[in-house]
């Protein structure tokens, strides 16, 4: 699972600043023991936070010059290495691919992406096109165990391009 992208080298000890792709950075903690960057598995030898974003210290990256070579790379982790979340929270990868239903239980399509913003947004693709739906309780009910999200209000659809 992609957990972020390296956006900068940080300090002289080889730290890499990561722009996270979720709000669960505070839960990386001791669970984050190894990551994949540029196809390489790298042990995490330390972590800290700088201006609200995580800084990782990776095995084999000891200088700022080493860290600068990783800028722009995605940071991946095995989903099994992520800590469990409270029952009312989900990792994005748990939601992508779920069936999207309307309030009557009729199919709208599938969740194909999630975008980060002031409120995260589900992108739904279906027969009527695509729709963006705020990922808030007023709009969405999630039942990941059943493999579905229920969209409580009619979204605005953008028709498929012909």
Percent of the chain with pLDDT over 90: 59
The mean pLDDT value of the chain amounts to: 89
Residue found under tokens 């498929």? 160
Q: Which residues contact 44 (CB under 8 A, 6 or more apart)?
A: 32, 33, 34, 35, 56, 57, 58, 59
For the record, the structure tokens of 14 come out as: 């080889």
Question: Mean pLDDT throughout 139-149?
Answer: 93
Using CA atoms, how far apart are residues 30 and 82, in angstroms rounded to an integer? 10
What is the tens place of the pLDDT at every residue in 61-115? 999 999 999 999 999 988 777 777 778 788 887 899 999 999 999 999 999 998 8
Percent of the chain with pLDDT over 70: 93
The answer to whether position 45 is within a domain reads: yes
Using CA atoms, how far apart are residues 42 and 57, in angstroms rounded to an integer? 10
The answer to whether position 142 is within a domain reads: yes
Residue 23 has pLDDT above 70, yes or no: no
**6 and 62 share one domain:** yes
**114 and 141 share one domain:** yes
Number of Cβ within 10 Å of residue 10's Cβ equals 22
Could you tell me the pTM of the whole model?
A: 0.66
**74 and 6 share one domain:** yes
In which domain, by residue range, is 135 found? Answer: 92-158
Out of 15, 45, 80, a domain closes at 80
Residue 5, pLDDT score: 93
């Amino acid at each position: 699972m992609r957990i972020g992208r390296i956006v900068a080298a940080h300090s002289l000890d080889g730290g890499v600043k990561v722009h996270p792709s979720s709000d669960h950075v505070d839960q990386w903690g001791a669970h984050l023991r190894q990551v994949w960057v540029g196809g390489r598995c790298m042990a995490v030898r330390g972590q800290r936070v700088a201006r609200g974003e995580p800084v990782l210290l990776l095995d084999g990256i000891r200088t700022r010059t080493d860290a600068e070579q990783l800028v722009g790379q995605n940071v991946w982790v095995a989903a099994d290495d992520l800590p469990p979340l409270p029952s009312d929270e989900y990792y994005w990868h748990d939601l992508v691919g779920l069936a999207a239903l309307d309030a009557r239980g009729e199919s709208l399509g599938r969740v194909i992406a999630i975008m980060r913003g002031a409120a995260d947004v589900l992108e739904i693709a279906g027969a009527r096109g695509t729709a963006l739906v705020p990922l808030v309780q007023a709009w969405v009910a999630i039942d990941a165990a059943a493999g579905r999200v229920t969209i409580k209000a009619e979204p605005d659809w953008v028709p498929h391009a012909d």
